[in-house]
Amino acid sequence: MNDRKLRKERIGLVSSNSMDKSIVVSVERRVKHPVYGKFVKSTSKFVAHDEKNICNVGDLVSIMETRPISKRKCWRLVKVLEKVK
């Protein structure tokens, strides 16, 4: 049987691909302010593993949590949802 736990998945935009086999993905989410109730945009950056160096800046990608690959890299690229024009 497959006893793997559920892994987190995120969808975001590639903000940097200057590293070899690595990309930086910016994930934006809307959070409700606890006091005022206004929705505020919050951005998180994740360093993900891109084995084939196929991503460019501006691509919409899906990433998945994985084992630690390096000090800051514990996400991997699942697929490119939309290429930049």
* pLDDT of 5: 76
Tokens 């930086």 belong to residue: 24
Strands 39-49 and 73-82: parallel
Band of the pLDDT at 1, cuts 50, 70, 90?
low
Architecture, CATH, for domain 9-82 = Beta Barrel (2.40)
pLDDT digits (tens, 9 = 90+) for 17-52: 999 999 999 999 999 999 999 999 999 999 999 999
For the chain, the average pLDDT equals 95
The residues spanned by each domain of the chain are 9-82
Q: CB of 25 within 8 A of CB of 64? A: no
- Note the pTM of the prediction, 2 decimals: 0.88
**CA atoms within 13 A of residue 62's CA, in its CB half-sphere:** 8
